[in-house]
Structure 1
Amino acid sequence: MACENCVRGALHTGTPVGNETKFDGVDAYGNFKVILPDLFNGSRVPLWALTSLDKDVPILHRLVLFPAALLFIVPFVLRNRPRQNALITSLAAAVRASAPPGAAVGFLFDAAAACHPSGVSFPADLALVERPFSLATGVKDPYFGKSRAEEAEKKWKEMGLEVEVVVYDGVEHGWTTRADLKDPVQRKARDDVVSQVLTFFTKYLIPKEA
């Protein structure tokens, strides 16, 4: 499911330190056993769409930019969405085969973490979680906000699962990848969720010394 927050955000600057490689036939970027596959076959939404709906953009500009952005976004979604489940399933199998135990943000392995999920059949999909699980979302996230997060946490604990649910203030859907790092609230939330996920995976995936 796509919304305006799926394409708006801020550019992050810096020098990548990982490596580009092929994984299960898909272009991927990674380092230290982190794999980030290109799920969109090299296509992307134009960079100007990131700020097309910002509040400081004049209203007349927004009236022009938003329809223009849709001309790119709608075909992008239609072109990529049908292949996502099969592609992710194939990649997940390849990860499991190459280096178990494994973990992935957004996909279940020995432990998993999800950030501001969308496209969730609520509450039916909650029953699909079977392993330790970490969730990060925003208070007002339109797809998985505070009330859903609290309900999900209660359900998972009733199922006897080891879970952690953290709800962040002052961030929009998609903030973990497109946060405005000049905004101290968004930057702190981004840094905190990185720490959340790394701490969680360290707890459940790194063998403890005897």
Structure 2
Amino acid sequence: MACPDCFRGGKAVGDPTGETTTLYGLSTYVASPPSTSTSQSTIILFTDAFGLKLVNNKLIADAYAVATGFRVLVPDIIPGGPMSPDVMPIMDKVMEPVSTFDILGQAARVFHTLRALSYFGPFFWRAFPSSPACTTPCLDYARNVKADLPPGAKLGAAGFCWGGYQSLNVCAEPAVAGGTERLIDAQFTAHPSGLKLPDDLVKAVTTFKTPVAVAQAENDFATKTKLVEDSEALIRQKVGPGNGEDGYYYEVKIYKGVAHGFAVRAKPGDAKEADGADEAKAQAIEWFKRFL
């Protein structure tokens, strides 16, 4: 599941405009829509491994709320807490090119690798995305939000990296255990991690005909693009082109020349990743506006 880009990237510049409160027993960042919005639909944003410790996730929630007119909830839901952003510059050191014959450089790389392992080793021990320790609280949270929505309001799910597994997983779950009503009314994920493909993507689309959008990084080493493309082809064989035929909606966009994490943590100075992040944000906003 993991790749170096899971723990690298840039910190966004900006001041979040939402507020943090407690919802369903979890600290939750709430990005509210403009006062002119009349919609009561809600989006749950399941973050990357850095959670609410990384301001990028809050700023994305703010952008979604303003552009869609929907409330956006970002729960602090990663078991044991999110990864510290302090690991990002350490991973940059690990990934710096070093000559084979540069003894001091190789020694420094080993040192920084061990430092990085001290961060993400414990993280994956407690918070591997497909483990029940992660999936159960995410499902419970989504069901609680859905149950409290007023009549006619809809629920969307967005997920990045670690959270991409969660947002797709809840698409295959009913609103109530044992029920037949879908839990999620529209889903967007960018560079999801930990997926079992094609099964997880097929289930997300077909179980309850949930509209599913995917932003896939071309150079993603956590979830191989070929597997995503093959999964999309299988879905097309099963249910059609995803344009509403028989009630199925899905889209997969491949973002050329970018790596895992681009939609949340575009690397400083990388214009292609910055543009890709903007395009992925627009993809998500249009998808949610269409279906929520």
**TM norm structure 1:** 0.87
Which residues of structure 1 form unaligned runs of 5+? 206-210
Deviates more, 1:177-186 or 1:55-64: 55-64
Higher relative contact order (CA 8 A, sep 6+): 2
Instruction: Confirm whether residue 151 of structure 1 aligns to residue 240 of structure 2.
Output: no
Q: 1:104 aligns with which of 144, 157, 180?
A: 157
What letter corresponds to residue 157 of structure 2 in structure 1? A
Cα shift at 1:75: 1.2
**Distance across 2 between alignment mates of 1:12 and 1:69:** 22
**Distance across 2 between alignment mates of 1:27 and 1:6:** 24
CA RMSD of aligned residues (A): 2.1
Tell me the matched-pair count: 205
Aligned counterparts, 1:135-146, within 5 A? 135-146=214-225
What letter corresponds to residue 147 of structure 2 in structure 1? A
Cα shift at 1:12: 1.4
User: Could you say which residue in structure 2 is the equivalent of 1:208?
Assistant: none
Instruction: Confirm whether residue 128 of structure 1 aligns to residue 203 of structure 2.
Output: yes
User: Could you say which residue in structure 1 is the equivalent of 2:261?
Assistant: 174
CA deviation vs aligned residue, 1:156-176 (integer Å, no higher than 9, x gap)? 233143111111122221222
Q: Residues 45 and 144 from structure 1, CA distance in 2 versus in 1: closer, same or farther, beyond 3 angstroms? A: closer
Which residues of structure 2 form unaligned runs of 5+? 34-70, 99-104, 160-166, 172-183, 241-247
User: Could you say which residue in structure 1 is the equivalent of 2:126?
Assistant: 79
Taking every aligned residue pair, what percent have the same amino acid on both sides?
28
Deviates more, 1:195-204 or 1:162-171: 162-171
Contact 2:80 2:126 in 1 (8 A): no
Q: Residues 126 and 11 from structure 1, CA distance in 2 versus in 1: closer, same or farther, beyond 3 angstroms? A: closer
**Distance across 1 between alignment mates of 2:222 and 2:85:** 24
Instruction: Describe the SS at the equivalent of 1:47.
Output: coil
Cα shift at 1:154: 2.1
Cα shift at 1:56: 4.6
CA deviation vs aligned residue, 1:19-67 (integer Å, no higher than 9, x gap)? 1111211111121311111123673433332022325587443321111
Q: Residues 126 and 46 from structure 1, CA distance in 2 versus in 1: closer, same or farther, beyond 3 angstroms? A: closer
Cα shift at 1:188: 0.4
Q: Residues 21 and 138 from structure 1, CA distance in 2 versus in 1: closer, same or farther, beyond 3 angstroms? A: same
**TM norm structure 2:** 0.64
User: Could you say which residue in structure 2 is the equivalent of 1:88?
Assistant: 138
Instruction: Confirm whether residue 23 of structure 1 aligns to residue 23 of structure 2.
Output: yes
Instruction: Describe the SS at the equivalent of 2:27.
Output: strand
Cα shift at 1:101: 1.1
Cα shift at 1:4: 2.0
Q: 1:68 aligns with which of 115, 131, 144?
A: 115
Deviating beyond 6 angstroms after TM superposition, the runs of 4 or more aligned structure 1 residues are none
Q: 1:113 aligns with which of 171, 175, 188?
A: 188
Cα shift at 1:70: 0.6
**Distance across 1 between alignment mates of 2:9 and 2:108:** 17
Instruction: Describe the SS at the equivalent of 1:117.
Output: coil
Q: Residues 181 and 192 from structure 1, CA distance in 2 versus in 1: closer, same or farther, beyond 3 angstroms? A: farther
Instruction: Confirm whether residue 14 of structure 1 aligns to residue 26 of structure 2.
Output: no
